[in-house]
Structure 1
Amino acid sequence: MMKPSEELEKQVKHAVRMFAISIATNRKVVSDMTPLVEVTSQLSLSNLDYWERLIRGEFAEVMRSSPHPRWKFWGNSPQILTWLDLISWDGYTRERTLRTISGPVPNSFFFALVLRRLNDWVPQVREAAREKILSLVNESDPASVVEALCLTLSHWNSWGRMEQSDKQAILDSISNPRIALSLQSKIVSSSSGPMVTLMSQAIRTSALDDSIHDIARRAVQPSVRAKAYRGLFEGRVVWLEGRKWEWTDKRYCEGKFVPVLGERQLTFRLPFMEVLHRSSEDRSSIVRRVAAEFLIKNLNSLGTDAAMFAERFANDKSGTVSERGRFAISQLGAGK
């Protein structure tokens, strides 16, 4: 993870400080967040933890050092809660903020802060986030939502306090047709990033089932196309649920973490031969290797087409693909 530039850090601090001062000097009016939204829109979500700590510290310092009104009528004025109170030190404030804010979300950065509250150490905060997410999703720009979802889906297995109901809230948001379409576009068009991991988690829900064939055909990343073709071949999708500890020798307290997988059947299917044709002609050897693998698994059911595909793979320029092609030919010869 690269350290943010000093110039960007200064811009963030300045925007936070100006926003905090405007709140402190006029506590009955919601201040303009435009400069803060503009600068946070430039931030990389991969550094979210760093930015959250920086902003929380700066915001808290200004609010703590700001002078309070000398005259107070009818007791203390009610506190104006803002999007920055999502990262308050105080759990009660975080919970009240979640129950108070409404959409649309200012940008992907602030929606990512909402999603992070699903791993909050205070159960009531997690509950408030769970209840708020769907309404925010329905009112917000899909691109902002998807950007934050991509970060969350790639890391949520490491969120130890996140419960199944919290994960379900995210999966329900993916089921929104607008979000599903934007997520599909992100998976297809991204040339970098953990798109395989993202897709593997997103397909826990059937929202992307009708798009699997399009992802297999058009995704920029070969590993994404290979994952999609594998799902079409098998008629099912598999994902990592998490990891559990497994003892190998209790006498010596030795063991290891092993993956826990989940799976479900796809609601969309393509004929096997159509999938084989498409994948065998893919420009990437990663995908063609998957095609050759499933040719071998289905040699006995393909009839005369099996020899044609085996010959094609045997002549492939990729060594790992041609090796599988030659094996398929040998298996066909042994069966005669």
Structure 2
Amino acid sequence: MKQSQATEDKVIAAVREFARSLNSGGRVVADMSALVDATCQLPLSSFEYWERLIRSEFSLALSESTPPKWKVWARHNVTLTWLDIVSRDGYTREKTLHSLTGAAPNAFFFGLAVRRLNDWVPQVRKAAREKLPEMAKATDPEIVAEVRCIVLSNWGSWGRLEQEDKEVVLQLVCDNQVAELLRSKLISSASGPMPTLFTQLGRTPILDEKMEDIASLAIQPSVRAKAYRSLFEGRIAWMVGWKWEWTDIRYCEGREKPIIHERELNVQASLPALLKRSAEDRSSLVRRVSAEVLIRERDSLGVLAKELAEKFSSDKSRSVSEKGLFALKKLEKSERD
């Protein structure tokens, strides 16, 4: 991904300045404020690019600013820093995670720590599992929520992520403040992978009490549609992987089938009220979900069923109007019978 040259130059300059301060030989603790400032506005969706760049520049800068050999005391006791969390050496990454204390400086550095759950060294992943809960408690909940949003939306591509690593992430989103921030983000975000975030958060009960608000108020139509469907079905489902299914073993023919897990919602909602609200939604995505449920539940809805079927049959969206006409035909057939 091509990044802004000005932003890249700023990050490189901050990394080099930080490396020089580490090798200055003075007794003053290295100041990483410039580095924190330079990484505050970095897009969290581009972690891999920035991690590679920072690792390379930090390593180069340290080698260029190494103290003279006669200053043997200058870096005798090397202090591990937040940048060592992306070191090329797995032992250094593991040791750094164990040595870090307190809050993460910003969302970018907290994201670097979370990414260690997908590290290629098992000992580093174990260290991340042990330290992240403690680090998250000390870090600003807004930072934790921001990073969790990115992680939950993209962890499907993290090939080394194990179930115990996922449990660490899910436990952190159950913090009351973090959960409230994530729910607000689901409702107020006009862009971004909110439908995926909704599905992943559905593994935990943090959305249950706000599910009707999400269905009614979320800006993104696909999020409202998912919330309404979950309310109608009384459950929320998510995909955990794929499995191979033979269709004709004689000819070695088959296909991959998704593995779906689900959880019951702890919500009691009125079906007629939900249908009325979803039928008035401004998005055809939501109205289509409503029409599907009408077809399935038409026999239990009495007069409301015909009222909604007539409404859907004249909908400006073809996919909705077709379902409305189908519901009308079924209702008329029931009346004749």
TM-score, structure 1 length as denominator? 0.94
Q: What is the aligned partner in structure 1 of residue 120 from structure 2?
A: 121
Question: What letter corresponds to residue 330 of structure 1 in structure 2?
Answer: K
Aligned to 1:187: 186
**After superposition, where does 1:1-336 map in structure 2 within 5 Å?**
2-26=1-25, 29-68=28-67, 70-72=70-72, 77-248=76-247, 255-336=254-335
Which string of whole-angstrom CA distances, capped at 9 and with x for unpartnered residues, describes residues 141-180 of structure 1?
2222122112211221221211100000000001001110
Displacement after TM superposition at 1:26 (Å): 4.0
Percent identity reads: 52
- The answer to whether the 8 Å contact 1:242/1:260 transfers is yes
Equivalent-residue separation in structure 1 for 2:212 and 2:28 (angstroms): 51
Please give the alpha-carbon distance, in whole angstroms, between the structure 2 residues aligned to 1:321 and 1:185: 29
**Alpha-carbon distance between aligned partners in 1 of 2:28 and 2:168, rounded to the nearest angstrom:** 32
- Distance in 2 separating the partners of 1:277 and 1:268: 18
Offset of 1:288 from its aligned partner? 0.8
Residues 225 and 297 of structure 1, relative CA distance in 2, 3 Å threshold: same
Alignment-mate amino acid for residue 315 of structure 2: D
- After TM superposition, give the deviation of residue 71 of structure 1 in Å: 4.2
- Please report how far the alpha carbon of residue 59 of structure 1 lies from its aligned counterpart in structure 2 after TM superposition: 0.3
Cα distance, 1:317–1:324 mapped onto 2, change above 3 Å: same
Deviation at 1:243, TM superposition (A): 2.2
Q: CA deviation at 1:246?
A: 3.9
**How far off its partner does 1:300 sit?**
1.0
Tell me which amino acid in the other structure corresponds to 2:43.
Answer: S
Give the deviation of 1:249 after TM superposition: 5.8
1:230 maps to a residue whose letter is R
Q: 1:317 to 1:47 in 2, by over 3 A?
A: same
Q: Secondary structure at the match of 2:160?
A: coil
Tell me the number of residue pairs that the alignment of Structure 1 and Structure 2 aligns: 334
Judge which range, 81-90 or 99-108, deviates more: 99-108
Paired residue secondary structure (1:317): coil
Q: 2 CA distance for matches of 1:114 and 1:196? A: 25
Q: Shift of the alpha carbon at 1:268?
A: 2.0
> Equivalent residue of 1:25, what SS?
coil
Letter in 2 for 1:123: P
Distance 1:290 1:42 in 2: 38
| In structure 2, distance between residues paired with 1:27 and 1:239 | 54
User: Quick one: which amino acid aligns to residue 204 of structure 1?
Assistant: R
Give distance in 1, aligned partners of 2:252 and 2:3. Answer: 42
Matched residues in 2 for 1:27 and 1:198: separation?
Answer: 47
1:66 Cα deviation from its structure 2 partner: 2.1
Counterpart Cα distance in 2 of 1:79 and 1:333: 81
Q: CA deviation at 1:295?
A: 0.7
Retained in 2: the 8 A contact 1:201–1:240? Answer: no
Deviations 1:41-84 (A, max 9, x none): 121122111110000000011112322363446x9732211111
Q: Distance in 2 between matches of 1:194 and 1:321?
A: 25
Q: In 1, distance between residues paired with 2:312 and 2:11?
A: 55
Q: Over aligned residue pairs, what C-alpha RMSD do you find? A: 1.9
Contact 2:25 / 2:75 at 8 angstroms: preserved in 1? Answer: no
Give, in whole Å, the separation in 1 of the partners of 2:264 and 2:26.
54
CA contact (8 A) 2:243 2:256 kept: yes
Amino acid at match of 2:92: T
Classify 1:157/1:295 alpha carbon distance in 2 versus 1 (closer, same or farther; 3 Å): same
For 1:132 and 1:119, the matched residues in 2 are separated by 14
Segment drifting more, 324-333 vs 32-41 = 32-41
The DSSP-based 3-state class of the residue aligned with 2:18 is: helix
Secondary structure (helix, strand or coil) at the match of 1:242 reads strand
1:270 alignment partner AA: A
* 1:272-310: CA deviation from partner (whole Å, max 9, x where unpaired): 122112111111111011011101110111112111111
In 2, distance between residues paired with 1:253 and 1:11?
A: 56
Q: TM-score when scaled to structure 2?
A: 0.94
